[in-house]
Each structure stands twice: as structure tokens, then as C-alpha cells.
Amino acid sequence: MGKGGDLGKKIILAGVSVMLVVAVVVAVVAVAQRHKSSDDDFPSEHNGDVSTSVKAVTTICAPTDHKESCEHVMNEAVKNNGGKTDPKELVKAAFQATLEELKSVFNMSTGLGQKESDPMTKMALSDCEDLMQSAIQELQASFSAVGDQELHTLSDRVDEIKNWLSAVLSYQQACMDGLPRPEVKSAISNGMVNATQLTSNALAIVSEVASILSAFNIPFNLNTNNGNKRRLLETEGGLHDMDEHGLPVWLSAADRKLLAYKDTQKLKPNVVVAQDGSGNFKTINDALKNIPKSRSGRYVIYVKAGIYREQVLIENEMENIFMYGDGPRKTVVTASKNYVDGTPTYQTATFAAEGNGFICKSMGFRNTAGPEKHQAVAVRVKSDMSAFYNCRMDAYQDTLYVQTHRQFYRNCIISGTVDFIFGDSAVVLQNCKLIVRKPMDNQQNIVTAQGRTDRREPTGIVIHNCRIVPETKLYASRFTTKTYLGRPWKEYSRTIIMESTIADFIQPDGYMPWDGDFALKTLYYAEYGNRGPGARTTRRVRWPGVKVISRREALTYTAGSFLGGKSWLPGTGAPFLLGLRA
């Protein structure tokens, strides 16, 4: 992954994007100030009433969990703005302060990395640099999703901003999780506190924008079309502006053209990868290195049957890649990087997809390190609006790292032992087969470990219409080797299993703790309409967040609602179900 060299330029661009990200929120709030001069709660600025600034700051910070840090930032903004309480400047300050803290953590990681002699710690600090740079780049990525929009499209913009902020929180946590030495981890953690709190505050402000607008007496009307002739797509998540082709108008022209392809199977490959020399390249990495810098639309890579022994990274800049093979048992990418042999978990992935809009079909991915090597990832994905169809992912511990953003998996096979589906994305696994493998003698199996760190993050692992079964080698000992549906990796861990078949080997209590009573009062584990002997819920653990949910609540976790799938899944070429089966 690239780092450092262009960071200054990226931060400048990110600063510009921050203003665009908050433009919708602050513009409306600014209108409120102009129209509220006669309101008793918010006296006009020219009255010189000191309470004006106090009340404005209090209103902006009211939804946040870290009010002290929020109010400090806001008060500094008021002071730097000559005592004025322009809401636009206040909200902008919340985002700018977050950006500055991320920059500080990046610089700290760089500085510590230059002094570090331990190879694994040095790699982990390098990961922190990449992760912080990704956090900054998320600001730039928000440019195409937000822009200068009208009030009636605010709901779409809020979803995009929350998607970005959740990814930023995940990057921060991933940085800290990867550090092996306690003293280095403590140093980064202490430096990360402000960044984490400010990111959480920004997420709270955006999430509660309706309440903020209400406090300023501004109506929050999502149904207004203001005479606009474009169609509004009605979904369970709100109204979405659509163009004449039925695609979201907030997408760039290139993205709308991309999504117009209804069947990716008919796309002619730009390049062919073949080990026997019959294609353009013999390795996947060589094909990726030769992707044209200036291109538009989907870039298609066909990987012919073969065992490709290489670590593959679809970099951030490699957007809208469609890669397909000859089948998950015929076109296989394999490697064996692992934690025990000195590679941080983040870097163990055999295949990693970072560039947005990645689609993969009919390929297999393996990490063959084995259970004794502990963390050894087969696939890591942070690509937004990514989809995997008819793929297979095999490893043991940490098989599939669903790192960030919106992801969809259909007709896939995923096998593993400990926490083998983990991460902090908004992900739906649909019509997939989840195979639990035989672990080491002293291990227990856990299917999921979801990593939500903030209660407002729109993330979670959704397992829909899947089968959860033991592999043949585990079958004989399936009752003595304990297997659980999940455990809480982070404080607000969220996993939903619905309309799925669960075999008899799952422990009746369903879920296990991570460490003592950590997260047991804040997690959310839900089940709906499941089948099979392992689906009985009468003996599930009695934690507050473990529940059987109604159909109405289950609908909020379908691909249509949870992923906003109606606006982008048609362009992936994969089959999908937006709602429930029944």
C-alpha cells in the first residue's frame, strides 16, 4: 500500500471535501439562524447576548457522547471566529478537528515506525499509517457522494457521511488492534483518544441532524421534491432521487454508466490472466500493475483456471474492477501468511479488495497456514458497494475480514474455525454456505465476531438464508467441540441471522463472551425465522441484546434496507433478494 508521499496534498483536498460533506447540514442550520432572530431560545447575534453562543454550542453538541470534547472544539471555533456563532462554522469545526487528529496519529505512527527495530511492530505501525491515510482519503471519497445538494436529498447524504465516518472509526480501531507491543499500543491508543471521540461526535451530529434542525425550527421534510422532475425511488430507507434510467443521481456520470450494465457476464474482458501463457499476463498482480491510469467504466479481468500462488491487493485507486474466474475450485488464489510467523493480521490476507465497486465471481481464495498459525486471513474487503458471487473462501481463524463499508456475498462458501467472519462493515451474506471446520484440540469455533465500536454505526453482519453446517472432519466430534454463532469483538457488536438453516452442532446458548462481561449489555444479536435443530432459541444466553425479532425489525436488515441495495446491487450482475424470503 502506498503511503506518506502525497499526504499533504491529500489533506488539503480532504479539507475541501469536509466542507462539501457538511454543506447540506450546515447550510440548513445556517438558514435556521437567519430565520430565528425573534426566537427566545436563540437571540440574534447583534443583541450581543453571551447566551447565544452557549445555546448554539449546546444544541450542536447535544446528541454527542463526548460533550466535553465537542464543546471544547465548538468554543474554540467561536473564539477564532470573533465570538460569532455561525452554525456553519461550528459544524465545520467538528469535522476539521477530526481531520487534524487523524493527521496527528498518522505522524505519530510514522515517527514511531522510523525508530522501531522489531520487524512485526514496524509492520503494524506501517499498517497504522495506511489506515490513517485511508481515513483521510474517505473525506475525499465523500466528494462524489455528497456535493452541493438540495434539502430533499439530505437523507441520502446523511447515509453516505455515516458510511464514511463508520469506516474512519474502523480504521482507528484496526490500527490499535494490530500493534503487538504494549508500550507502542499504549502510545498510539493515547494519541488516538481525541480522534476517536471527535469521530464519534461527528457521527452523532450527522445521525441526529433531524433533531438539530428541529431545535432551530427547521422542518425536516424528506418528501419534498420542489418541482424537480426527476423520479424519486421509494425504498424502506427513504426517498432517493433517480435519473431517467432509474439510477441514483448522486452517482457520478461514470458510475451511472457502470451500473447500467445489467449482466456483467456479457462484459468483454479487458485483460486475461492465464498461467499457461494464453492470456495477457501470467499473474493477477501483473494484470493489476498494468491497469491504465486513465480509464472509465468497469475494468474486467478474466482469470483462467489455475492455482495462483500470490498475495493480491486491489488498491484504493483501483475502482470498479470486475474479476471473474472459471469456478471457485478451478481458479484459486492461495497463500499462507499468518500471525504466528510474524505477519500482522491485517497483512495476512491472501486477497484484499480496497478499491470501491469491486465485483468478484467464480473464484476461490485460500489461506493454507493451518489452525496452529492462528490469525490467517483468506480475504479482506474494505471496498464500498462490493459484491462476491459464487466464490469460495477457505482458512481457519479469521477467514473473511469484512473490514468496512457496504458488502454483499451471494452463493458463496466460507469455511473456518475461530471468528471466521469478522469486521465492521455493513455486510449481507445471502444464500451462502458457512462451513465450520475442525479446530485445534484446545479451541472452540465461533462463526462471527463483529466489530462495531459506536452505537450509531450503520454496520453489522447479516446472515440471510444461509446454511451453517460442520465439515466432514468435524462431524464425529461436533458435540464435544463447542461451536457458537458469535461473540462480541467490540462493544456494540451486531449480528443478525435470519431465515437460515442452522445444524445441530451449534451450542444451545448460541453465543459466547469475548472477555468476562465485556459488551454483554451493549451488543445486539438477533435471530428471525431460522430453521434446523440449531435454530431453537429457548436456551439462548440471557444477555439484554440477544433476542428473537419480529418480521418488521428483520426487514430493516435485508439487503434492500440495510445496504441500500436497490440502488447498486443491480449493477453487480449478481442475483439478489432485497427483502425477506417469506
pLDDT at site 18? 44
In the chain, what percentage of residues exceed pLDDT 70? 77
pLDDT at site 148? 44
Residue type, 72: H
Nearest CA-CA partner of 500 in 523, 474, 471, 527 = 527
Task: Work out the angle at residue 432's Cα, subtended by the Cα atoms of residues 356 and 421, and round it to the nearest 5 degrees.
Answer: 65
Q: Which of 184-198, 229-243, 325-339, 457-471 has the lowest mean pLDDT?
A: 229-243
pLDDT at site 17? 42
pLDDT at residue 212 tops 70: no
Contact 494, 460 (CB under 8 A): yes
Contact 36, 42 (CB under 8 A): yes
pLDDT at residue 8 tops 90: no
What's the CA gap between 365 and 303, in Å, rounded?
13
Q: 105: which DSSP letter? A: H
Sign, CA dihedral 187-191-197-200, equals negative
pLDDT at site 90? 76
Backbone dihedral angles phi then psi of residue 497, each to the nearest 5 degrees: -120, 120
What value does the mean pLDDT take over residues 368-378?
97
| Mean pLDDT of the chain, nearest integer | 83
Residue type, 102: L
Q: 269: which DSSP letter? A: P
Give, in order, the Cα–Cα distances in Å from 249 to each of 55, 259, 300, 345.
37, 12, 25, 38
Per-residue pLDDT band at 518 (split at 50, 70, 90): very high
Q: Exposed e or buried b for every residue in 331-355, given b needs 16+ CB within 10 A? A: bbbbbbbbbeeebbbbbbbbbbbbb
pLDDT at site 174? 95
Cell match 473473511: residue? 400
What value does the mean pLDDT take over residues 557-568?
95
In the chain, what percentage of residues exceed pLDDT 90? 65
Q: Grid coordinates standing for 464?
A: 440471510
- SS3 of 336-404: the string is CCCCCCCCCHHHCCCEEECCCCCEEECCEEEECCCHHHCECCCEEECCCCEEEECCEEECCECCEEECC
406: which residues sit within 8 A by CB, 6+ positions away? 163, 384, 385, 386, 425, 426, 427, 563, 564, 568
Give, in order, the Cα–Cα distances in Å from 242 to each of 87, 217, 250, 576.
31, 29, 8, 20
pLDDT at residue 556 tops 90: yes
Per-residue pLDDT band at 343 (split at 50, 70, 90): very high
pTM: 0.86
Per-residue pLDDT band at 250 (split at 50, 70, 90): very low
pLDDT at site 242? 45
pLDDT digits (tens, 9 = 90+) for 142-199: 434 434 444 334 555 788 888 989 999 999 999 999 999 999 999 999 889 999 999 9
What's the CA gap between 459 and 443, in Å, rounded?
28
Name the more confident of 240 and 102. Answer: 102
Residues marked active site are found at 419
